[in-house]
Structure 1
Amino acid sequence: QGTVYDSELAGKWISPMHPQVIRDQPGDCPICGMKLVPTSRYGYSEQPVIQNAAITVPRNAVLLAGDHSVVYIETEPGRFELRNVKLGPLLRDRAVILDGVKPGEQIATAGNFLIDSQMQLSGKPSLIDPTKFSPDKKKKPAYRNEPLQFTSIKIEKLPGQAGQALESLYSVYFAIQKQFASDKKISEQQATSLSRLASQLAQDSQLSQSMQQELKQVAANAAHLHHLSLEEARKKFKPISHAVVKLATEVRGEGAKQPYYQFFCPMVSQGEGDWLQQDDKLLNPYFGSKMLHCGKLVSTFAPVSSNSEKTDQKSENTKNKTLSRPKGE
């Protein structure tokens, strides 16, 4: 608990029931008869308190996206550099900066989004990808904020009941993806079905060790997905999606005909915002209606060819993006 200094109250005695009664010495309240108490009980210091200086900036100078808080520092006239900042309290028209800005530095307070757009176009650190920035060039970003990349994709056929179970797993995953995109929690049946199918397939000797590990990851994260809040369930959906995307580049059920689509959203908290869909209409499961169409199509995974045991294809990186900001920002 903090303390404040007021010269008129320092070292005084006050009535708990009638605070207008203030005395230099202990005694009784003349109104109610209660004992006077020291003002220090209510946070008043007897000595002046050293006040730490706080750095504040105009609130409109700070750009926010998920966990990212950034400002643009003027390094020389007309030239700006992205700076990650740690925010303190947000006031009506000011923002307290706990870390990231030094006293006296000049920051951009107007045209921030124009500067940010120019940074994006030139491939420099920007609001949607501040991880490119690091004062220590040897320091790696804390997380990945780019799509999972696959230079060469070889999809195996999984025959029989195991192949059918695998396609069922994909179907349950897609149903959950649509639920999250619709801002709905998933059912117990969906969570247990996904976990059960993944656990069963993880024991199948036809699958490689890497595939089995991915299935175990799905099973572990899906088991209690229905018990979580929508926000927490979406966090658990990330490792599930990473595993499912990787599986889709490695194995499909025999006779599968439908291509699958890998999407990525750079605005997802802590990065790594990949997911898989059964169609190319982007529906963001991590934000739902708040940013339903935020992201980009990264790759299309063609189904297994009926004329060969494996399909060898290249990842198709698309340049077209649909980016949006959360409603209300």
Structure 2
Amino acid sequence: MTVDPRIAIPSGLSPAAFHRRQAGAPVLSCAGETMGTSWSARIVAAPDGIAARIQAELDRVVGEMSHWAPKSDLSRFNRSEPGRWQPLPVGFANVLAAALEVAEKSAGAFDPAMGALVDLWGFGPPGPRAGIPDAAEIAAARAVSGRAHIEQDGRRARRTAPATLDFSGIAKGHGVDRVAEMLRSMELPDFLVEVGGELRGEGIKPDGQPWWVDLEPVPGSRLAPIRAALHGLSVATSGDYRRSFAHAGRGYAHTLDPRTGRPLENQVASVSVLHPCCMLADAWATALSVLGPEAMALAEREGLAAHMVVRAGSGFAEHLSPALRTMLG
């Protein structure tokens, strides 16, 4: 049986927006690969060569903050001498500042300095491991992990211990924002940009419609879909079905709880966050996933439009923040 979608409309989608459409203009679709995943874009009245410019911008993001690329600025930072201040590119500095802010507001549910634990569980550049780490290994990795070991002063930062940064929970969203800002600087106001499932929509399509996007459904869930108008709005989703591994008949999700150093066990299947900034939507989706259903109180305090799906026996339960309920009318 087909279930009609619930419609989420941002407050910024006013009648005036529809009068600014570029009626009859072509919509270019282009795509490529970045950050170990894919990207795509739909752009109204795009000039020739735009795909190459998008790829170049995303390549710059990788060059700044990929922990998989040994020559990236992030990898160099992770090899720097503890205690020594390191200069940062503007994008790197902005992402680190945002990550530390979300870490503080979420009481450590999101943490950008988890590289040692990510590697330990087989989700980092060293690759998958045989078996799972024991308590002593986890304790050792936790001792050199966490935001408490990172200090930032504007365009510079330093490690106070051998902690390593991992921007996996925020870099894709930042990449979306970088492309979006590049397009806006080129006076291309109408587009939908996606990197690895994280999206940002601006403006209006030539037919007068906003960029309609369904929030990513949890496989096997029969919950009514939510269809959002991405008009000056981004959406990011963190799901336990995206990446995991099995050991001794048990699945382990890729999202780690910084407070325990272990994969999540709170039955959260997915969290989607709608926010004007895709970078922040990305980070908050991870933080709320770690916190579980009680995170809805934090989402309300922060004014976040959030949708959480939790496994409940053989089915699923959902939680909607007040900001999202307002968008749904």
TM-score by length of 2: 0.28
Higher RCO, Cα 8 Å, sep 6+: 2
Higher relative strand content: 2
TM-score by length of 1: 0.28
